[in-house]
Structure 1
Amino acid sequence: MLNLTKHERKVYDLIQQYPEILTDRDVRGNIAVQNGMTEKTLRNRIGELRRFGLVTKDGPSNGSATQTDEYENILLLWKRRKFITKNVIWVGLASVIISLFLPKWYASQAVILSSGAGRFSLISAFADLPLNEFGFSPVNEDITSFISILDSRSMKEQMVEKFNLIERYGSRDVEYAMKELEGNTELRVTDEGALAITLMDKEPEVSQQMVQAMLSQLDFINRRLSREQGKYNRQFIEERLKQTKIDIMKAEEELKLFQQQTGVVDILAQVTAQLEAYGQLYSQKVAAHGGVYSQELQAYTELYAQRAGTEIQLNVAKSTLSQNNPTIRQLTILLKEQNRQLETLAEQLDSELGVMLQDVDERLGSVGFNDGSAPIWITLSDFPALAMQSARFIREVEVQSKLLEILVPQYEQARMEESKNIPTLQVIDEPKVPLNKEKPKRIFIVLGAVFMASIFSSGYVLVEYHTRDLRKRLGSV
């Protein structure tokens, strides 16, 4: 509702009782004296009520002092519409004039791809997925490198120096010129994975030249970085290749020395042939001994089985009978006797086997290598150790040979990467001299100014009305 002060309410009531005080000065003076105020004070109060729309030239308006706040504000704005409209018109005209005097900026754009953009990338297949939330980026690695180079300080310093941007932008020093250049440059990755480079300047020819210079500098820096990376790779692989050659020579010498000392060249083939010869000689030896060894071996086997049965009976008796039971003592004595007989038979078998092996060795003889120091015959007791050593030496030679096969192509590739000097950019759209300005957007400037003028003017009217009591109290202090 209308927030009339005590004095405004009193004046409003006087106008309703004496409408002539609006037009007759003498009547207004008499009424003012009767109510303890001057004619000027009454006239000022009437003027405030007229401004709020409560009083017209003919008397009090038809509006009621009990209207709602929303209607009150709308009515107040409508009564002050001339003031608001005048402000909006002046601000609009001023924004039009200012926008006409603002310098024009022109934007030149180039779109590029990396030299490897045509290759398939697994990440590109998932370009529509939010991979950034999982630590992945769908942007090509080369494009990311291009953006890093374009945002680097060295690139900006080159541009500032080449186009004298300190003077061109009116900057205080190089740092401010680089910030201004950064604000005039836009790097955007398109949906297709290309990089769009846009640069603005007040002269269209200069904007095109700056984009072209930025592309040339980007290609130069990227080539230099690629050559440096190729150089570091080549140096590392070269050192590793030299070490591998030394290692393979060492492994080959160790294998050669082992073969000379042991006579082992292909141990599996040698042992296979040796076992075949041994089997033939062993058959002859068994036949010559008339089967004595076989009979002793059969007796040993039967006795061994009997001993196993005795052990089982003894264990069962111990778990079911007392320790002093005669059965346990009898089984214990029997087990000891069987062990003694087994040891005797084992000695006889070993002796007989030794005689047979000695006879086989005498028949095979001892055949050496060129120096005659290493026998070809490999005893079964030495076979595991010799086989392990031979396998290790051969494996080491094979491993070093495989490393050599891998490193040689990589070394040649690194040499090519170090020496190649081919363009690293694929320019899809060359920078052109722009024909139309990029900014200022005059229509947006004018509309924004008009909108803000309307808001501030309306706010001023409302604040002035709702704070009149406060201003009066502050003025009376």
Structure 2
Amino acid sequence: MFIDIFIVIARYRGRFLGILTVITLISLGIALLWPKTYMSTAKYVQYDSSVSGSLGGLISSFTNLPSGGEKVNTEQSTIILRSRTMLDTVIEEFDLASVYEKEIQEELRLKLEENTIIEEIREAGIGFNPIVSVSVSVLDRDPQRAKEMVEFYLEELDDRMVEINQRNAQRILTAYEARYQQNLTDLETATQELVDFQKTYGILEPQTQTAALIGNAAQVKAQMTALDVEIGVAQSLLSASSGEVTELLERKRQLEKTYNSLIVDPVNATRSPDEVFTDATLDVFPALEDMPTLAAEYLRLFREATVQQEIYKVLLPQYEQQKMMVMESNSGLELIDQPNLPTYKEKPKRAFIVIAGFFFGLFAAFFSVSFADFIRKGKKGEQSEAYQKYQELMSVFQKS
């Protein structure tokens, strides 16, 4: 079998070598004339480079409230790089319609996608692993333009990520600001209501004031009881119209007035129970029978003011930190490798072209000499059946 092949090649060696030489020379010419293409590459990673990031984490650990806003991650950055908007921006920036000699926008995008290589480097392991870094490469006939296109890709990516991050942070800031302003209004209202209540009823410490009122009432009641004993003794020894009995009865009337004022009417509980309470002092402390209702109302107002104050303590640092987040919005991109100015071509691979041309020449030359030998044998009648089918096929083509 192999000897037959070599015999055929030897018989038609001139044709074989001619075809092989011509095709190899053509492939060499193609390799030499093929325009050179250069590739510039840059690589980046993404960090959380927010200045207030540590502060935000500390505040969030205490408040359990979101801060900062949703940020564009590395996965999403590759989506932005491959987006139609990004492609159109690059095409317009570098006038690629004249570079690629195409007018249809869809064809320009396809050509740019072919010349743009975005490679994601992921953590080693099984399954879907996060991206560690991303490399961006651009192929172009002009090495300087390739470098500038990579730089533009990264600058545009950074701007778009900052814009999205800032918009997300601003959205959260708006929510915080609205709640913060509402809290200021509620806090001012609650504080004013508590102050007005205290001015009206004098409630400052319900528990302490109630104890003081009860103590004063008990002292007055004890004095009234002792005075009743004195009045009984005096009436048994003196006439009812005597001055001493009259004085004791007046003292009893004053003590009853004082006691009733403590129980029913507002009085100044800080005064001694022996003092007579005037109208000017009747609006400082409430009566004992009103204390449960007033104490409940005071505690409600005090609780509302306290709640609003605690809300203020939570919202204020979050609100201030969110304003910092908006001002500090950034992409978090850090370049590992700067875009390089290529000095050696990426394409064409001339050696591969010549080798491929050589092997194709071998195949074409062998096919040619094999076919020539087939015709020779057919004419001699050595392959009459196959040669007849060949002649029939050729006659069919000639008739058509």
- Change in Cα spacing, 1:362 to 1:111, as seen in structure 2 (3 Å) is same
CA contact (8 A) 2:169 2:322 kept: yes
Residue 286 of structure 2 is aligned to residue 376 of structure 1: yes
CA contact (8 A) 2:23 2:360 kept: no
The letter for the 1-side match of 2:77 is: F
- Change in Cα spacing, 1:250 to 1:213, as seen in structure 2 (3 Å) is same
* 2:118 aligned counterpart, secondary structure: strand
Shift of 1:425: 4.1
C-alpha distance in 2, partners of 1:454/1:432? 41
Cα offsets for 1:118-174 (capped at 9, x unmatched): 99x9xxxxxxxxxxxxxxxxxx95433432332233332222122110010112223
C-alpha distance in 2, partners of 1:372/1:473? 135
CA contact (8 A) 1:226 1:417 kept: no
* 2:35 aligned counterpart, secondary structure: coil
C-alpha distance in 1, partners of 2:357/2:311? 73
- Change in Cα spacing, 1:364 to 1:387, as seen in structure 2 (3 Å) is closer
C-alpha distance in 2, partners of 1:459/1:276? 125
Aligned to 2:109: 178
C-alpha distance in 1, partners of 2:386/2:214? 123
Shift of 1:226: 4.2
Equivalent position to 1:407, from 315, 332, 342: 315
* 1:194 aligned counterpart, secondary structure: strand
Residue 142 of structure 2 is aligned to residue 203 of structure 1: yes
C-alpha distance in 1, partners of 2:299/2:359? 89
C-alpha distance in 1, partners of 2:259/2:363? 118
Shift of 1:473: 10
Alignment of 1:246-265 (within 5 A): 246-259=185-198, 264-265=203-204
Aligned to 1:156: 87
- Change in Cα spacing, 1:280 to 1:458, as seen in structure 2 (3 Å) is farther
Aligned to 1:214: 153
Aligned to 1:48: none
What is the TM-score when the length of structure 2 is the normalising length?
0.59
Aligned to 1:167: 98
CA contact (8 A) 1:114 1:424 kept: yes
C-alpha distance in 1, partners of 2:201/2:42? 74
Aligned to 1:327: none
Aligned to 2:306: 398
Per chain length, whose mean CA-contact separation is higher, i.e. which structure has more relative contact order (CA < 8 Å, sep 6+)? 2
The structure with more radius of gyration: 1
Alignment of 1:7-46 (within 5 A): none
C-alpha distance in 2, partners of 1:142/1:190? 14
Shift of 1:411: 3.5
C-alpha distance in 1, partners of 2:287/2:45? 70
Shift of 1:196: 2.0
CA contact (8 A) 1:262 1:374 kept: yes
C-alpha distance in 2, partners of 1:191/1:363? 84
Cα offsets for 1:417-450 (capped at 9, x unmatched): 4445878643332222111111222333444555
Cα offsets for 1:266-321 (capped at 9, x unmatched): 3344456567778899999999xxxxxxxxxxxxxxxxxxxxxxxxxxxxxxxxxx
Equivalent position to 1:441, from 341, 344, 349: 349
Query: Unmatched 5+ residue regions in structure 2?
Result: 54-70, 124-131, 227-255, 269-279, 375-382
Residue 10 of structure 2 is aligned to residue 102 of structure 1: no
C-alpha distance in 2, partners of 1:180/1:214? 16
* 2:204 aligned counterpart, secondary structure: coil
- Change in Cα spacing, 1:77 to 1:373, as seen in structure 2 (3 Å) is farther
What is the TM-score when the length of structure 1 is the normalising length?
0.51
- Change in Cα spacing, 1:197 to 1:372, as seen in structure 2 (3 Å) is farther
Cα offsets for 1:339-360 (capped at 9, x unmatched): xxxxxxxxxxxxxxxxxxx999
Shift of 1:77: 5.9
C-alpha distance in 1, partners of 2:304/2:21? 92
